[in-house]
Amino acid sequence: MGLENKRGEMQTAQGQTGLSGQTVGNQEIIHKIKLYSVLFEAIRKEMSQIVVGQKDVVNTMILALICNGHCLVEGVPGIGKTLTIRALSKIMGCDFSRIQFTPDLLPSDIIGITAYDEKKGFYTVKGPIFANFILADEINRAPPKVQSALLEGMQERQVTIGKETFAIQRPFFVMSTQNPLENLGTYTLPEAQVDRFLFKIKMGYPNIDEEADILRKNMTIYHFDEFKIRPLLDAQKIINLQEFVKKVYLDKKVEDYIVRIVDCTRNPKKYGVKLGQYIQYGASPRGTIALYISSKAMALLNGRPYVTPHDVKEVAHITLRHRLILNYEGQAEEIDVDNIIDEILSSVPIH
């Protein structure tokens, strides 16, 4: 991006008034952002001890955690999906729970049951969903009824067991994985559930140098505890971070830019998007909200107290790729949704 574009983005973010008295000019906010920048770098460094490569994946997970959202990770087996979420939970100083989704899994295996004992009477046995960090491994292997058991917890941060409703402790972060290679014995995720994931991450293969590094420090040779991952945060500090990101300034012009991007997913002809002919349904209002909060988190991750259009572009793919539903023609032609998003971003002007 050229100097003129950067200057234009700053003017867009700060508006014509200079934002006197706003977030951008608040020295306390700026000081905290600098401290958080140091923290984010420490988290990345700590993660690199055990997770080789996958820098974009790690950054996206940090973003999701800042936004109080969840991630759907798509990738072939054996590339470190489980290891990544386990390491992140350790660094965050939080509880970790892994749920292996299988065809015979029941909703009660996730949320818990109401049991009876002659001495104690009726009592509740809470399931593995009651943890700060949840790995829903191969979520598309379980039938829709089981998948939907996560819905209430992911959206409402609470679950109902029997006649009682229990709040899930904060922070609450779900990372679900699915294997893109196999269709046999799998169930397509309901659109209502997919929409509840803030981001969809595509986790790819490591490069040659990273592969060699994996050989020298892999979980077959070493035990997880041998890497001595240090907790850098705790539950309350994460909650404070999630509240702080809301203070990042987002100008009305950037807000309009977000709205127009989402509108383009629904009315691509209006913006001259040729690949739009393959879109059956565009992003929902939840997608607009996701772009809004995640662009604030990206600005924070980039060490700025205000959002620029470039921040919006950086989070557009991970935020929208699972929210654009292709029509039959698009599915038959195997159109890549990311290519559609690229055209949308190039077609929607920044005013």
Q: Write the DSSP string, 143-210.
A: -HHHHGGGHHHHHHSEEEETTEEEEPPSS-EEEEEE-SS--TT--PPPHHHHTT-SEEEE-----HHH
Q: What is the mean predicted confidence (pLDDT) over 262-275?
A: 94
Spatial distance between the Cα atoms of 138 and 346, rounded to a whole number of angstroms:
34
CATH topology of domain 3-22+249-347: Helicase, Ruva Protein; domain 3 (1.10.8)
Question: So what's the pLDDT on residue 221?
Answer: 66
What single DSSP character describes residue 282?
-
Q: Are 205 and 28 in contact (CB under 8 A)?
A: no
Contacts 24+ apart (CB under 8 A), 7-13: 8/350, 9/308, 9/309, 9/310, 9/350, 10/308, 12/251, 12/253, 12/254, 12/308, 12/309, 12/350, 13/249, 13/250, 13/251, 13/253, 13/254, 13/306, 13/307, 13/308
Task: Report the top-level CATH class of 36-240.
Answer: alpha beta
Among the ranges given (75-84, 152-161, 175-184), the one the predictor scored with the smallest mean pLDDT: 175-184
Is the pLDDT at 237 greater than 80? The verdict is yes
- As annotated, the residues of the chain forming the CATH 3.40.50.300 domain(s) are 36-240
Q: Are 320 and 291 in contact (CB under 8 A)?
A: yes
**Residue of 18 and 312 predicted with greater confidence:** 312
Contact partners, residue 261, CB within 8 Å, separation at least 6: 291, 312, 316, 320, 344, 345, 348
Spatial distance between the Cα atoms of 107 and 136, rounded to a whole number of angstroms:
13
Q: Are 261 and 312 in contact (CB under 8 A)?
A: yes
Q: What is the pLDDT of residues 184-198, one digit of tens each?
A: 567 777 777 788 899
Q: What is the mean predicted confidence (pLDDT) over 95-108?
A: 88
Is the pLDDT at 342 greater than 90? The verdict is yes
Q: What is the mean predicted confidence (pLDDT) over 236-257?
A: 93
